[in-house]
Structure 1
Amino acid sequence: MSETVPNTTAPGRRSGGRVHRLALAGTLATVLGVSLVNGVTPAGAAEAPLSQSGKATASSSERGDLSAAAAIDGKENTRWSSAFSDPQWLQVDLGASKAIKKIVLKWENAYATAFTIQTSSGGGQWKTIHTTTAGKGGVQTLNVSATGRYVRLNTTRRSSQYGVSLWEFEVYGTGSGTATPRPSATPTTTPTTIPTKPAPTTATPPASGTNLPKGPVPPGAVRVAEFLAECPYTHRLPDDPIVMPGLSGGSHMHSFFGNTSTNADSDIKSLLKGGTTCSPKADLSSYWVPTLYSDDKPVEPTGTTFYYLGEGIKDELMAQTRPLPLGLRIVAGNAKATGVNDPTSSSRWSCLHAGEVGSSKNFVNCPAGKMLESYLDFPHCWNGKDLDSPDHKSHMSYPVNGACPASHPVIVPKLRQVLRYPVSGDPARFRLSSGPGYTMHADFFNAWPEAEMERRVRDCIRPIVKCGAGGTP
């Protein structure tokens, strides 16, 4: 979660060629050994920003996939974007106090015309090291001389009605040290349940204690707890092996991703014998959602990313994260939601590369050529015993104030589902098989082999390291 939204397709809202040309020029300059400021980078020694191994936080994020972490991941096709208001801030924790000599801001088209750069060694004491009141956007390289553990960009005036947005926030300097995770909390609203009949299944409760193994933090690792799976569409069936097991044709139409064998009779044994469209192939899990219709014709997403994240939990608790148990079933969202103001609806719709449209619980009107995007976060606090529950929700909970409640004490990775549909225009043309956009919901049947899930939790989530589909940084 990917907290990923969720970072495989560039959410380049309002982006133009200028930023990319300037960024490319900067990259070529580094390759050729030419500094963007006075001085020369030694030949053959590309300068790596201190910020890339740090921990980023922000005052706000426009969407889950436009989070602060995207501004320090070393990728110029991912970005942070704030809420549409002033002021805002973006901050990076370098892990230890270090000498800072240069800051590079690679703005997306929505930049700040007025901002300050501040540093701090902790204790809430900040020192302003740069002030701008006539910012022009693009790539800005600031020569500074400062020392601090925390570096903060404070924006006070936007260039447009949108938020402020950065492809990269790069802090350069000297010094070394292991990055120390910085606590954060992301409370999430807990949807109510959907009553259904099946009895719960149980699992062996995990052992108590918090002394769990975690992998090392590789040099230059991006400090975001994440791994992912890309699981394209497989098939459509009016089946639901969680809510209506054994009742073939008993559900509204669902679109399935990942495991190719999923039907009403699927259980963990059949899934482990099935094929998969996922990358990595190790993921035999099944994911499904109500089918989207445009002008009463089914439309399937062409982007299907499932992020496993360490979000919503304080960083100091991340080492307690346990693998998702084999056979765990989770439902997110509410197929019976009554409107956009229904608190049980947790759906979100937006437009890829058109962030000015914003997000809504219902369908949004995307400009021609843009894609309709859906993202949904699953609960990730488990009661430690039940693989399912009669309502398919009460065995799971969302965290509160950065921690799992006592009733659901086991932290597991948060699943964030991001789907991108190749449709745009008047949202009156769209419907789900379950109803309006705010009835979007999703089902997850975990069939990751236990060793693969354990490895990813050990190497990616617990040490707070961003991993790809292969489960490596």
Structure 2
Amino acid sequence: MKVHHLILQAGISQAAIRFGCSTVSVQRLDPLVEPGSIPSAHVHQIVGGNAFNATMKGDIGEQASCTTCVYSEDFSNYWTAAMYFRHENGSYKRVPQYPNAQLGYEGQNDTTIKGGMTIYYTQKDFDDNGDKFITAFQPGFRMTVGSPTIDNKDGSKAGLRYTCLQSILTRGSETPDFPKQPCPAGIMAIHHFPACWNGKDLDSPDHQSHMYATTNPNGGFIESAPCPASHPVRMPQVAYETMWNTTGFNGMWPKDGSQPFFWSYNDNKGYGTHADYLFGWKGDSLQRVMNDSCMFHKCGSPGLQGTLKTQTVPEMNACAVKNTVEEDIDGWLEELPGQKMPMARAFTA
């Protein structure tokens, strides 16, 4: 009877969710790559649950008390490096984020979302699940994608891309490196994670080997091949879209035409872009929606009932994490935080 249920779900499930999360913290902490380090090597921008801290273990869904994501059962944490603009005089300024204009919640003014990112959980593509049962992540699961050590186009990974936004609704025209010219509406950074699991490890020493990517180089939301025998379990395809509002710097573009944007780990090529994911959905909520046939807002949004519970934008924005590291990350800085001399100290109280 149970086997029949799984086969049935494999045939009818085609769920995909896309939702906004406001910023929960911007600071130098990295509980995956540098657990316990206060501060970590570079600045991150983080969204999701308020359990985020320097050392994270166990079931995060049971540890957090609020989340900055629209789905109130999602206490996961999602993060990338922060982006900075380098002025011709050598100083740096953090680039602000703005909400995705393609999100439209019933009765909500989405422009009030505080920074953050758009998060996707899809299946084979936006039309079906490839007739495969989609297994949700388990408590304690974590992974990363990309690497800050990659500094050339040949090493860039499929699904890690940039879009030079001609308008806030621009999609497509993706490049593996930073745009070479000012973008009229900012830069969208895109991170697609692998979706094939080895079926046994919630993590691995490099935070990547327990997963296998079948990302299509020509379209991150379409798989290029089925999961291999080494990683046979199909999981949701997680992806991030971060809208970086670079427009305030367009008039400051260097006279020599050089690309002035840097990731916080001191990379102005863009090939080393990377992202981190730490699963924290409450109970069976993620599996429940992956078994459904809903798409995007029909899975639930403020003002519209669906499979998932939701919260309002003010409730999202009210959730936050107090900074563990005290340092200036937002003014005009002489150097990127952590990239030369240690300028930060941990709070002692």
Q: Which of 375, 379, 382 does residue 197 from structure 2 map onto?
A: 382
Instruction: Note the C-alpha offset of 1:389.
Output: 0.2
Instruction: Note the C-alpha offset of 1:343.
Output: 3.7
Equivalent pairs counted in the alignment come to: 258
Q: Distance in 2 between matches of 1:343 and 1:266?
A: 29
Instruction: Note the C-alpha offset of 1:353.
Output: 4.0
Q: Give a deviation string over 1:115-140, Cα, whole Å, max 9, x none.
A: xxxxxxxxxxxxxxxxxxxxxxxxxx
Matched residue, 2:97? 301
Gaps of 5+ in 2: 87-91, 100-116, 215-222, 301-305, 309-349
1:453 aligns with 2:286: yes
Q: Which of 46, 54, 77 does residue 286 from structure 1 map onto?
A: 77
Matched residue, 2:331? none
Task: Please tell me whether the aligned partners of residues 239 and 254 of structure 1 are also in contact (alpha carbons under 8 angstroms).
Answer: yes
3-state secondary structure, aligned to 2:241: strand
After TM superposition, the structure 1 stretch with the greater mean CA deviation from structure 2, 346-355 or 302-311, is 346-355
Give the letter for the 1:381 counterpart.
Answer: C
Instruction: Note the C-alpha offset of 1:269.
Output: 4.1
Matches within 5 A, 1:9-24: none
Matched residue, 1:252? 42
Give the letter for the 1:301 counterpart.
Answer: Q
Q: Which of 56, 67, 73 does residue 266 from structure 1 map onto?
A: 56
3-state secondary structure, aligned to 1:214: helix
Instruction: Note the C-alpha offset of 1:368.
Output: 5.8
Matched residue, 1:359? 174
Structure 1 runs (4+) greater than 6 angstroms displaced? 207-210
3-state secondary structure, aligned to 1:263: coil
After TM superposition, the structure 1 stretch with the greater mean CA deviation from structure 2, 312-321 or 336-345, is 312-321
Instruction: Note the C-alpha offset of 1:314.
Output: 10
Q: Which of 233, 237, 261 does residue 410 from structure 1 map onto?
A: 233
TM-score by length of 1: 0.49
Instruction: Note the C-alpha offset of 1:334.
Output: 1.6
- Aligned in 2, Cα 1:356/1:345: closer, same or farther, shift over 3 Å? closer
Q: Give a deviation string over 1:144-168, Cα, whole Å, max 9, x none.
A: xxxxxxxxxxxxxxxxxxxxxxxxx
Task: Please tell me whether the aligned partners of residues 27 and 44 of structure 2 are also in contact (alpha carbons under 8 angstroms).
Answer: yes
1:428 aligns with 2:259: yes
Instruction: Note the C-alpha offset of 1:369.
Output: 4.2
Q: Distance in 2 between matches of 1:411 and 1:345?
A: 18
1:350 aligns with 2:140: no
**Larger strand fraction of residues:** 1
Give the letter for the 1:260 counterpart.
Answer: N
Instruction: Note the C-alpha offset of 1:273.
Output: 2.3
Gaps of 5+ in 1: 1-206, 218-222
Task: Please tell me whether the aligned partners of residues 14 and 127 of structure 2 are also in contact (alpha carbons under 8 angstroms).
Answer: no
- Aligned in 2, Cα 1:257/1:313: closer, same or farther, shift over 3 Å? closer
- Aligned in 2, Cα 1:346/1:336: closer, same or farther, shift over 3 Å? farther
Q: Distance in 2 between matches of 1:376 and 1:209?
A: 35
Task: Please tell me whether the aligned partners of residues 156 and 176 of structure 2 are also in contact (alpha carbons under 8 angstroms).
Answer: no
Matched residue, 1:214? 9
Task: Please tell me whether the aligned partners of residues 288 and 307 of structure 2 are also in contact (alpha carbons under 8 angstroms).
Answer: no
Task: Please tell me whether the aligned partners of residues 334 and 344 of structure 1 are also in contact (alpha carbons under 8 angstroms).
Answer: no
Q: Which of 296, 311, 316 does residue 467 from structure 1 map onto?
A: 296
Q: Give a deviation string over 1:231-278, Cα, whole Å, max 9, x none.
A: 111212211111111222133211111123312112234553222100
- Aligned in 2, Cα 1:442/1:214: closer, same or farther, shift over 3 Å? same
Instruction: Note the C-alpha offset of 1:356.
Output: 9.6
Task: Please tell me whether the aligned partners of residues 229 and 283 of structure 1 are also in contact (alpha carbons under 8 angstroms).
Answer: no
Matched residue, 2:67? 276
- Aligned in 2, Cα 1:271/1:401: closer, same or farther, shift over 3 Å? closer
Task: Please tell me whether the aligned partners of residues 225 and 311 of structure 1 are also in contact (alpha carbons under 8 angstroms).
Answer: no
CA RMSD of aligned residues (A): 3.1
Task: Please tell me whether the aligned partners of residues 9 and 133 of structure 2 are also in contact (alpha carbons under 8 angstroms).
Answer: no
- Aligned in 2, Cα 1:293/1:405: closer, same or farther, shift over 3 Å? same
Q: Distance in 1 between matches of 2:172 and 2:291?
A: 38
- Aligned in 2, Cα 1:309/1:262: closer, same or farther, shift over 3 Å? same
3-state secondary structure, aligned to 2:154: coil
- Aligned in 2, Cα 1:320/1:430: closer, same or farther, shift over 3 Å? same
- Aligned in 2, Cα 1:248/1:404: closer, same or farther, shift over 3 Å? same
- Aligned in 2, Cα 1:344/1:448: closer, same or farther, shift over 3 Å? same
3-state secondary structure, aligned to 2:284: helix
Instruction: Note the C-alpha offset of 1:357.
Output: 9.2
Q: In terms of Rg, which structure is larger?
A: 1
TM-score by length of 2: 0.66
Matches within 5 A, 1:33-182: none
Task: Report the identity percentage.
Answer: 28
- Aligned in 2, Cα 1:368/1:227: closer, same or farther, shift over 3 Å? closer
Instruction: Note the C-alpha offset of 1:282.
Output: 1.1
Instruction: Note the C-alpha offset of 1:319.
Output: 3.6
3-state secondary structure, aligned to 2:288: helix
Give the letter for the 1:449 counterpart.
Answer: K
Give the letter for the 2:292 counterpart.
Answer: D
Matched residue, 2:210? 395
